[in-house]
């Protein structure tokens, strides 16, 4: 069976368009950008960020408080660039302690410490908060494609 040049060219064009559509779809739904988050001495790098926005709330004293929200694609990772641990000179035991933590939806927390390995952002991680004030500085949301 012999295929004409025109049919072959048409098939190749359709195949190329299909491949490009698949590649563009994969790129948009899973890569995102890598963003750096700074708050005081805390510095984080978060991959697979779809968008960043700011939200606000009132603290326990009724004062306004703003924090960032990172909406992330699946596969996002958090890298601690600077943990902003407490000063050993102001600690009763002479050791440095965590100032920040990752709040989980089970109300558990994971302290952010120096030399912490990067970790996957999972759907049970609500955000980064101050261990002293319990206020968010960064909230996480997972991207939901609503088509």
Q: pLDDT tens, 35-48?
A: 999 999 999 999 99
* pLDDT over threshold 90, residue 79: yes
Mean pLDDT of 54-74: 95
Beta bridge partner(s), residue 72: 49, 142
Question: Is-above-0.85 flag for pTM?
Answer: no
**What's the token pair of residue 25?**
């779809």
Chain centroid to Cα 4, Å, comes to 51
Per DSSP, the residues of the chain read ----HHHHHHHHHHHHHHHHHHHHHHHHHHT-EEEEEEETTEEEEEEEEEEEEEEEEE-TTS-EEEEEEEEE-TT-EEEEEE--PPPGGG-TTS----SEEEEETTS-EEEE-TTPPPEE--TTEEEEEETTT--EEEEEEE-----
* pLDDT over threshold 60, residue 29: no
Q: So where are the chain's domains? A: 1-30, 32-142
The 10 Å CB-count burial string (b at 16+, else e) for 41-76 is: ebebebbbbbeeeeeeeeeeeeeeeebbebbbbeeb
On whether the CB atoms of residues 115 and 47 are closer than 8 A, the answer is no
């Amino acid at each position: 069976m012999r295929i004409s040049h025109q049919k072959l060219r048409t098939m190749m064009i359709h195949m190329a368009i299909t491949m490009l559509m698949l590649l563009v779809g994969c790129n948009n739904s899973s890569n995102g950008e890598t963003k750096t988050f700074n708050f005081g001495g805390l510095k984080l790098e978060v991959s697979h960020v779809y968008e960043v926005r700011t939200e606000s709330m009132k603290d326990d004293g009724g004062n306004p408080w703003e924090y960032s929200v990172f909406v992330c694609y699946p596969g996002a990772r958090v890298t601690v660039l600077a943990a902003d641990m407490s000063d050993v000179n102001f600690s009763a035991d002479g050791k440095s302690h965590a100032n920040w933590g990752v709040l989980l939806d089970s109300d558990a927390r994971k302290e952010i410490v120096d030399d912490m390995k990067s970790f996957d952002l999972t759907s049970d991680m609500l955000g980064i908060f101050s261990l002293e004030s319990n206020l968010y500085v960064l909230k996480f949301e997972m991207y939901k494609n609503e088509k």
